[in-house]
Structure 1
Amino acid sequence: MASSTSISKKLTIFCNISFLFLLLCLCLTTTNYLHPNNHNSNLPNLQSTILHNSVVDDGCTNLHEHPDFKTKCLYVKTQIGCRPNGYLNYLQIFYCNFGRFPIIAHFAILLWLVVLFYLLGNTAANYFCSSLESLSKILKLSPTIAGVTLLSLGNGAPDVFSSIVSFTRSGDGDVGLNSVLGGAFFVSSIVVGVIGILISPQQISVDESSFKRDVIFLLFSLSSLLVIIVIGRINLWGSIAFVTIYFVYVGLVSATHIYKTRKLEEEPDQLLVLGDTITSITTPLLTRVDDEEKAAVSVLDDEKKMVDGQERNHYWSFNYLGRLVLYLLELPLSLPRRLTIPVVSEENWSKPFAVISVTLAPISLAALFNTQSEKVGSTSKSVTYMTAAFIGLVFGNLAYLTTKKCDPPSNNKSLFPWLVGGFLMSVAWTYITAEELVCLLESYGNILGISPSVLGLTILAWGNSLGDLIANVAMAVNGGSDGAQIAITGCYAGPMFNTLVGIGFSLVLSAWSEYPSSFVIPIDHSLYETLAFLMGGLLWALVILPNKNMKLDRYMGSGLVAIYLCFLSLKLTRLLL
């Protein structure tokens, strides 16, 4: 636990330093390479040619036909298809700001990609999931319902929002479809495969009925998606029906849970065994935390004994200075979110931040609304900002008058609005980050000359699934049979949620915008290949595991990893050729 906290702290500091470094590089390289002082006899003629051709939107496909960074810079500035869907024009930054230093430009893009992945995951973990967890307690949801709904939403937030952004901003949903399917393939093959290989010596079995239920539902979901892709269009009611499949799954899981609970209540001996099992799982964790806290206190006591007088003052001054430096290094990426996302947890409560966040939250939502609505005029934007500012001032004054300095709101009636506000603002931040991430991948695909969908299938899918790999493998390896059961269930329930809710909700929004007509899905033959390999991996697990008495072993795990590597090799071979 201390180790994971230390790694998280180091990653936070690294990403913040990287952000400051990229900001400094951008400021230093902001130079107009097409300034009249840059003498180039061919540039005026080329400029007139590019300006003449910019009327036609070729989707930025002719970018690599231009010989040097100056002409490419002019091309991306004037070509309609090169304009970004996000907030930063990455093509212009790459060719105009870093045009003379392409290696540094590639490094900067990859570094910014890491920062965006960090923002996406950190916002989901520290703000989105905490709001969902508190809301589930207030709404008194059962652990099973919360697990298959709110927990899945928290874990799948990056994939869900990446899919929604891809459909709503770029219009074709190519990156979104590939990222969700790529993530589902990675989790159901690589993560399950690694779990099977690592815990093979323990001979752990998983519940057969739960495993078959999850895999069959996921196969049915992918088959339904395949039908939609083959047809090539979907109306509003069809997209709603696709999302409804997930609620049928939730209902089945809930019914199964209720049935098993009642059966255990009728058999006290089994219920006692279940209670002992839960206690045996939680007690070591609590004891380990307690031991770590005692060890930390013991270390501090020893350190206090070792220093006295001036040495003690010097020690604590140095320690305070170090903490201050670390706090300042975490500010660049954390401060904007802290100022706009209401937080009411006891460990992070701060009345000044709380008052400022509820004041600025409506203004932030207004800014997001105005950037998403291209048809909104300047007058309407001003009215939106003024209304949001008024609402923010009202909320801020109410927060100042109704909250305490040291303690957050405690009763459910006063806590509920705070949690809803925190949930909405964490959704807004997750959406903004996902939007920028998709925009970056699309631009980088143009720079590299490859399809952005390939980057969505690989880079975006891997980045969003990295948390599943670490969490599920750790849970399976260290949690015994119960941990393995939870991890395997998550490896199939998570991709199912991302597929049905992430893609499904994206289809609902897209079909709604075209209603009463149908939304046309662009033809991408690579999706058939992805679905075939993905469903092949699921069928492999569905056939092999029951034949092995539901014991996770190397044979099943190696087969899943081999299927994914074959798929990846095929994709890379086609790219190189």
Structure 2
Amino acid sequence: MVGSGLLVLGAFYLLSIISEEFFVPAIDRLAKKLRLSSDAAGATLLAIGSSAPELFTSIFAVFGTQTGGGDIGAGTIVGSAIFNVLVIVGAASMFRVVKLQWQPVLRDMGFYILTILILFWAFSDGRISLLESGLFVLLYFIYIVAAIYWRKIFNYQDVDAVELVADNPVNNLGGLVRKILGVVIPNPVRRPKLYGLTFVLSILAIAGLSHQLVHHVVVIADYFSINPTFLALTVLAAGTSMPDLIGSVIVAKQGRGDMAVSNALGSNIFDVLVGLGAPWLVYIAWKGGEINVGTENLFASIFLLFATVVALLFLMLIKNWKIGHKSGLFLIALYGGYLIYILKSL
């Protein structure tokens, strides 16, 4: 059991390094090669990069069990979404006052609220159908189109999210583990011509680590007779969100906390619509039938997620699209209260 715990911690650590130092910079190169705008890149490639741990955790949770693994996959995504909204946004505003551009935030907030409402609807009967999973994926494609054309409709200056990744100090290799990974996986900053190989190897590494995470979390849950959904909502959710948290804190210290808020919302939209919808869609199309989801363990968390997003939007409106350190402390305290609630519900 100690071995499983150490493997889970090690997997979290490696996921953070691989995502931040190899996978996201490789996606940066790919976005430049395809000449994508920052909005389009953020909604597609960068979202995949920052949300890769959650996506592959959901994939292996769905395909790794006979019933579609709905509880673990959904629990990880929902828990990660709560972590992103409360902890990442809260941590970003702890260093400097975050000044937001209302146009992209309003777009992402609107799509995110719609996403949560659809999640409520899909979970209402405890089963996921082909139609419901297809609707998730379709809504994400609509979001991509909106992201591409939003800046053309509303005239605002957009921060180049792709460049921020390349300048991120997290990408500086250091330590024995980073050096070993740098030998196995080409560093796309130092060896930019091999970004394609880095992209593929990073996906394989993240997939393998995510598979081990799901397996050993289930082992730990069985050993201690804990509901796996609880560990998914807390341990898996926070662990797979570490790359997002680290990157957000760094850009916030650089005075670009608005990027942290935008990335948190964009990653959440991807997590729910693609991280849940795509594995469900493929599984149901392949095996037929429906996927059972233990919604009794998730409804309270989804409701809290909806409430926090609405509260965050209200906070931004009354603060004239600014978030200060007091608001950040409040958001982090809310997450602490959420953890206490989850523990009491065991």
TM-score band, normalised by the shorter chain? 0.7 to 0.9
- Correspondence for 1:508 among 260, 271, 281: 281
* Inter-CA distance 329–153: structure 2 relative to 1 (3 Å threshold): closer
Q: Considering only aligned residues, what root-mean-square deviation do their CA atoms show, in Å? A: 3.0
* Inter-CA distance 426–558: structure 2 relative to 1 (3 Å threshold): closer
The list of structure 1 runs, each at least 4 consecutive aligned residues, that deviate by more than 6 angstroms after superposition, is: 326-329
Q: Secondary structure at the match of 1:450?
A: coil
- Correspondence for 1:534 among 305, 308, 312: 305
* Inter-CA distance 128–467: structure 2 relative to 1 (3 Å threshold): closer
The CA distance in 1 between the partners of 2:178 and 2:109, in whole Å, is 44
Report the alpha carbon displacement of residue 458 of structure 1 after superposing the two structures with TM.
0.9
1:380-415, CA deviations, whole angstroms, 9 ceiling, x for partnerless residues? Answer: xxxxxxxxxxxxxxxxxxxxxxxxxxxx5xxxxxxx
Report the alpha carbon displacement of residue 227 of structure 1 after superposing the two structures with TM.
0.8
State whether residues 183 and 464 of structure 1, in contact with CA within 8 Å, keep that contact through their aligned partners in structure 2.
yes
State whether residues 541 and 556 of structure 1, in contact with CA within 8 Å, keep that contact through their aligned partners in structure 2.
no
Q: Which amino acid aligns with 1:457?
A: L
The CA distance in 1 between the partners of 2:178 and 2:331, in whole Å, is 42
Tell me the residue number matched to 1:193: 90
Alignment of 1:31-70 (within 5 A): none
The CA distance in 1 between the partners of 2:227 and 2:179, in whole Å, is 35
1:73-130, CA deviations, whole angstroms, 9 ceiling, x for partnerless residues? Answer: xxxxxxxxxxxxxxxxxxxxx4xxxxxxxxxxx3x43322221112223333344323
Report the alpha carbon displacement of residue 328 of structure 1 after superposing the two structures with TM.
9.7
State whether residues 545 and 556 of structure 1, in contact with CA within 8 Å, keep that contact through their aligned partners in structure 2.
no
Scaled by the length of structure 2, the TM-score of the pair is 0.86
* Inter-CA distance 346–531: structure 2 relative to 1 (3 Å threshold): closer
Q: Indicate whether 1:250 and 2:147 are aligned.
A: no
1:121-169, CA deviations, whole angstroms, 9 ceiling, x for partnerless residues? Answer: 3333344323322222222222221122111111110001101110110
- Correspondence for 2:214 among 429, 433, 438: 438
Q: Indicate whether 1:177 and 2:71 are aligned.
A: no
Q: Indicate whether 1:456 and 2:227 are aligned.
A: no
Residue ranges of structure 2 left out of the alignment (5+ in a row): none
The CA distance in 2 between the partners of 1:129 and 1:191, in whole Å, is 18
- Correspondence for 1:565 among 332, 336, 341: 336
The CA distance in 2 between the partners of 1:556 and 1:347, in whole Å, is 39
Report the alpha carbon displacement of residue 348 of structure 1 after superposing the two structures with TM.
4.5
1:507-545, CA deviations, whole angstroms, 9 ceiling, x for partnerless residues? Answer: 112211233xx3132333020011011111111111122
* Inter-CA distance 190–348: structure 2 relative to 1 (3 Å threshold): same
Q: Which amino acid aligns with 1:428?
A: L
State whether residues 16 and 242 of structure 2, in contact with CA within 8 Å, keep that contact through their aligned partners in structure 1.
no
1:457-480, CA deviations, whole angstroms, 9 ceiling, x for partnerless residues? Answer: 11111111122222212312322x
Q: Which amino acid aligns with 2:237?
A: A
Alignment of 1:370-409 (within 5 A): none
Q: Secondary structure at the match of 1:513?
A: helix
Tell me the residue number matched to 1:400: none
Tell me the residue number matched to 1:165: 60
The CA distance in 2 between the partners of 1:552 and 1:344, in whole Å, is 35
Tell me the residue number matched to 1:394: none
State whether residues 178 and 454 of structure 1, in contact with CA within 8 Å, keep that contact through their aligned partners in structure 2.
yes
Q: Which amino acid aligns with 2:142?
A: V
1:429-486, CA deviations, whole angstroms, 9 ceiling, x for partnerless residues? Answer: 211110111101000111122112111111111111122222212312322xxx1221
* Inter-CA distance 327–478: structure 2 relative to 1 (3 Å threshold): closer
State whether residues 62 and 73 of structure 2, in contact with CA within 8 Å, keep that contact through their aligned partners in structure 1.
yes
1:350-409, CA deviations, whole angstroms, 9 ceiling, x for partnerless residues? Answer: xxxxxxxxxxxxxxxxxxxxxxxxxxxxxxxxxxxxxxxxxxxxxxxxxxxxxxxxxx5x
* Inter-CA distance 136–119: structure 2 relative to 1 (3 Å threshold): same
Report the alpha carbon displacement of residue 191 of structure 1 after superposing the two structures with TM.
1.7
Alignment of 1:90-105 (within 5 A): 94=1
The CA distance in 2 between the partners of 1:558 and 1:239, in whole Å, is 36
The CA distance in 1 between the partners of 2:188 and 2:107, in whole Å, is 37
State whether residues 130 and 281 of structure 2, in contact with CA within 8 Å, keep that contact through their aligned partners in structure 1.
yes
Report the alpha carbon displacement of residue 425 of structure 1 after superposing the two structures with TM.
3.6
* Inter-CA distance 188–242: structure 2 relative to 1 (3 Å threshold): same
State whether residues 124 and 154 of structure 1, in contact with CA within 8 Å, keep that contact through their aligned partners in structure 2.
yes
- Correspondence for 2:190 among 347, 368, 373: 347
Q: Indicate whether 1:499 and 2:275 are aligned.
A: no
The CA distance in 2 between the partners of 1:442 and 1:224, in whole Å, is 28
- Correspondence for 2:31 among 131, 136, 146: 136
Q: Which amino acid aligns with 2:62?
A: F
Report the alpha carbon displacement of residue 422 of structure 1 after superposing the two structures with TM.
4.3
Report the alpha carbon displacement of residue 346 of structure 1 after superposing the two structures with TM.
7.4
The CA distance in 2 between the partners of 1:329 and 1:550, in whole Å, is 38
- Correspondence for 2:263 among 490, 497, 503: 490
1:533-565, CA deviations, whole angstroms, 9 ceiling, x for partnerless residues? Answer: 111111111112201212213453343233322
State whether residues 199 and 476 of structure 1, in contact with CA within 8 Å, keep that contact through their aligned partners in structure 2.
yes
State whether residues 540 and 560 of structure 1, in contact with CA within 8 Å, keep that contact through their aligned partners in structure 2.
no
Q: Which amino acid aligns with 2:212?
A: E
The CA distance in 1 between the partners of 2:99 and 2:7, in whole Å, is 42
Q: Indicate whether 1:210 and 2:107 are aligned.
A: no
Q: Secondary structure at the match of 1:231?
A: coil
The CA distance in 1 between the partners of 2:178 and 2:258, in whole Å, is 40
The CA distance in 2 between the partners of 1:194 and 1:344, in whole Å, is 28
Q: Which amino acid aligns with 1:194?
A: A
The CA distance in 2 between the partners of 1:199 and 1:345, in whole Å, is 31
The CA distance in 2 between the partners of 1:554 and 1:506, in whole Å, is 38
* Inter-CA distance 330–110: structure 2 relative to 1 (3 Å threshold): farther
Q: Secondary structure at the match of 2:345?
A: helix
Q: Indicate whether 1:232 and 2:126 are aligned.
A: yes
User: Percent of aligned positions with the same letter in both sequences?
Assistant: 25
The CA distance in 2 between the partners of 1:489 and 1:189, in whole Å, is 13
User: Which one has the largest radius of gyration?
Assistant: 1
